[in-house]
Structure 1
Amino acid sequence: MGSAVKLRDDYSASELRRLARASKDVRQSSRLLSIAAVLDGMNRTDAARIGGMDRQTLRDWVHRFNAAGPDGLLDQWSPGPLSRLSPEQQSELAAMVETGPDRAVDGVVRWRRIDLKRVIKERFGVDYDARYVGKLLHKLGFSHISARPHHPGQDAHIVEEFKKNWPRTLKAHLCDLPPRTKVELWFQDEARIGQKNGIVRQWARRGTRPRQPADQRYKSAYLFGAICPARGAGAALALPFADTEAMQRHIDEISRHVEKDAHAVLVMDRAGWHTTANLRMPKNMTAIFLPSRSPELNPVENVWQYLRQNWLSNRVFDDYDAIIDAACEAWQKLLAAPETITSIGMRQWAHVGQTP
């Protein structure tokens, strides 16, 4: 059997115990206590048990303590193999992913792992497995997420100016209200729900190709929906058409859901049945219109996505009544989760000073 390794003598047992109490690393603390016990004269088998290790492991830690002191008792995890892409190449790849593909050059409208595998090999001479490309993207801060709608004719400057000037816009529209009137912010939109339905992603075993029902008939209805994110409230109507009469009904429905003595600001897009002079706005409501071609400013767009992904897609509706029932059921489920309405609907630019 080998002889015991001699301990360095520039630390006392009491000093090591003091360091163990001060350490925020549990493993370092236990190793310090074991070595302190050895310095006190305890046999090394019993001293090893104090730190939850065997005698050979304690011997290894003694070598590291002798070489580097208490810092040598910290875990030193291997960083793993070096990346085959240099930091500069990784930055170039990240910029390329953010910019998106050039359809004329790359032949695709969105990056897939298999596309990036090819581009990485062509540009950097590194041949990764497609699965590792996904891991690499995660390391670079990317996730595979759904995109928000963006109108191709949108003027980004106008959108940013609208958000920046929102407090002044709100003040100008509400200047005639009595002082201290409570203001509720509502967002409104409508969605077509019909037999020609969508199919969304689902979890399935790798290598399988799951199937979902897809109807090809054309009966449909419109779900007029509005949410007040700060209250987690909503108001909706399922109607056969999207026109001025339907919009008037929805405005009246929203008005009934505004709290007593409060005034609602109804934010909506510039659809023809929203901007017509034939609409009668209730006394407890003021309409403010979003800039043209800016659906991402309206959180109800995200509400539609949430309803479709959870309750309306991957289904076949037998007739018009089934469509109405499904739309109403989905909206009721949304109303039953006010925290979800708040989470989806709160926008920093619009809710300055408001809390959920």
Structure 2
Amino acid sequence: MARALLKPNPENASILELKDAARIGSGETALRCTAIQMLVTGITRSQVCAALAVTNRSLRNWITAFNARGLDGLIVRKRSGRPPKIDKAKTQQFVDLIENPQDADRDFWTAKAFHGYISKTYKVECSYETVVRFFHKQGFALKVPQPWPDRQDEEQRQAFRQKLKELHDQPDLDIWFADESGFDGDPRPRRRWDKKGRKTRSTKNGDHIRMNVIGMVCPRTGEFFAIEATNVFTEMFQVFLDEAKKCIEFERERNILILDNATWHKCKTLNWHGFEPLFLPPYSPDLNPIERIWLIMKDRWFNNHISKDRDALIERLDKALWDLFDNPKQVKKTASIGKII
């Protein structure tokens, strides 16, 4: 009996059968069959352990199983695994609780807070890591909230959408969207992956450098026009309109220019050079598709990028703007108004 534990019984399977089983089996099944095959051909147990990087205990267990059941003893069966800590009966209940934190007198959930709550209230014994996996499995992700105004007038917004749809359907006019955006030389660092225990740093010398971009986009064609400015006020906005008149070749008879309600957009002395201004409802930046262009531009060109001086910031802005000028198809896709109307 002791001898059977040391060596596999060659009568239980031929070398050819072991080879076939190793070839068609799963990773661990193939490893077991290869180990027994090596032992049957006369290779010592110590050599097999070293060659296949397995322990002597594992090899002894495989030999025992092979001698008892032949090839069937080497086949890895599907393991049942441990039952989930959060069972199906509670899954939907917990998903509803995550989406409605007010039911637990909370404004929002963190994984740590949710773990403590279900442990105390529902007597669920699970680890914090289990709760994090549950969040991910149910389609939740850790996000930074976007500031959002609460003074919107939904009737005005709906009326604007209807007006925009009517204008969009007219073949003799183009719709343009204009806006201003600021670009910092030392933007706020965003979260990034780094090794635990390592101090994650971003350069900051205390100098605050900022430039502004005034731009307009035509969603139908993807044409984009912009100028850089140190500040934005009525005179600078007039310069923007003057330059737009010089550089843009209008394809249609009428050109509607949609803007927000900044004071310099409503100065009565402005020369619109043929543009017909139309103003957004108050507190409605989401109805201006050029906002999406600014977001992508900042993410691609200014995410954790530090400009040491104004010249470096202007150089970076130039590259970012030329990227938009040279890619009207991408601009057209980004500035689509389909989701607005």
TM-score after normalising by structure 2? 0.65
What's the counterpart of residue 344 of structure 1? 334
What's the counterpart of residue 187 of structure 1? 177
Task: After TM superposition, give the deviation of residue 272 of structure 1 in Å.
Answer: 0.9
Hey, what's the Cα distance between the residues in 1 that align with 2:330 and 2:243?
Answer: 21
Task: After TM superposition, give the deviation of residue 150 of structure 1 in Å.
Answer: 1.5
Hey, what's the Cα distance between the residues in 2 that align with 1:141 and 1:189?
Answer: 35
Task: After TM superposition, give the deviation of residue 165 of structure 1 in Å.
Answer: 5.0
CA contact (8 A) 1:189 1:226 kept: yes
Hey, what's the Cα distance between the residues in 1 that align with 2:98 and 2:326?
Answer: 39
Task: After TM superposition, give the deviation of residue 230 of structure 1 in Å.
Answer: 3.5
Question: Mind listing any 5+ residue stretches in structure 1 that lack a counterpart?
Answer: 3-44, 58-76, 175-179
Task: After TM superposition, give the deviation of residue 314 of structure 1 in Å.
Answer: 2.4
Hey, what's the Cα distance between the residues in 2 that align with 1:118 and 1:258?
Answer: 62
Written as runs of structure 1 = structure 2, the 5 A alignment for 1:52-91 is 53=24, 83-85=84-86, 89-91=90-92
Aligned length, in residue pairs: 278
Q: Deviations over 1:241-294 (max 9, x none)?
A: 1111222222344443354346433222111112222222222x3222111111
Task: After TM superposition, give the deviation of residue 311 of structure 1 in Å.
Answer: 1.6
What's the counterpart of residue 257 of structure 1? 248
Written as runs of structure 1 = structure 2, the 5 A alignment for 1:1-40 is none
What's the counterpart of residue 276 of structure 1? 267
Paired amino acid for 2:316: A
Hey, what's the Cα distance between the residues in 2 that align with 1:150 and 1:339?
Answer: 30
Hey, what's the Cα distance between the residues in 2 that align with 1:270 and 1:91?
Answer: 45
Aligned pair partner of 2:290 in 281, 295, 300: 300
Q: Do residues 213 (structure 1) and 211 (structure 2) align?
A: no
Q: Deviations over 1:303-329 (max 9, x none)?
A: 222222222242333333333222222
Q: Deviations over 1:142-182 (max 9, x none)?
A: 334555542132334543453355324667xx7xxxxx42x
Task: After TM superposition, give the deviation of residue 223 of structure 1 in Å.
Answer: 1.1
TM-score after normalising by structure 1? 0.63
SS in 2 for 1:117: helix
Paired amino acid for 1:122: K
CA contact (8 A) 1:113 1:134 kept: yes
Hey, what's the Cα distance between the residues in 2 that align with 1:321 and 1:127?
Answer: 58
Hey, what's the Cα distance between the residues in 1 that align with 2:120 and 2:156?
Answer: 39
Task: After TM superposition, give the deviation of residue 90 of structure 1 in Å.
Answer: 3.1
CA contact (8 A) 1:228 1:234 kept: yes
Hey, what's the Cα distance between the residues in 1 that align with 2:313 and 2:267?
Answer: 28
Aligned pair partner of 2:276 in 278, 286, 297: 286
SS in 2 for 1:321: helix
Task: After TM superposition, give the deviation of residue 196 of structure 1 in Å.
Answer: 4.8
Question: Mind listing any 5+ residue stretches in structure 2 that lack a counterpart?
Answer: 1-10, 30-77
Q: Do residues 197 (structure 1) and 170 (structure 2) align?
A: no
What's the counterpart of residue 309 of structure 2? 319
Hey, what's the Cα distance between the residues in 1 that align with 2:252 and 2:131?
Answer: 57
What's the counterpart of residue 7 of structure 1? none
Hey, what's the Cα distance between the residues in 2 that align with 1:93 and 1:158?
Answer: 38
Aligned pair partner of 1:242 in 219, 232, 236: 232
Q: Deviations over 1:158-217 (max 9, x none)?
A: 43453355324667xx7xxxxx42x33322211122345221223333554421113433
SS in 2 for 1:223: strand
Cα distance, 1:204–1:269 mapped onto 2, change above 3 Å: same
Cα distance, 1:167–1:216 mapped onto 2, change above 3 Å: same
Cα distance, 1:79–1:317 mapped onto 2, change above 3 Å: same
Q: Percent identity?
A: 22
SS in 2 for 1:151: coil
Hey, what's the Cα distance between the residues in 2 that align with 1:306 and 1:98?
Answer: 29
Hey, what's the Cα distance between the residues in 1 that align with 2:125 and 2:219?
Answer: 48
Tell me the C-alpha RMSD between the 2 structures. Answer: 3.9
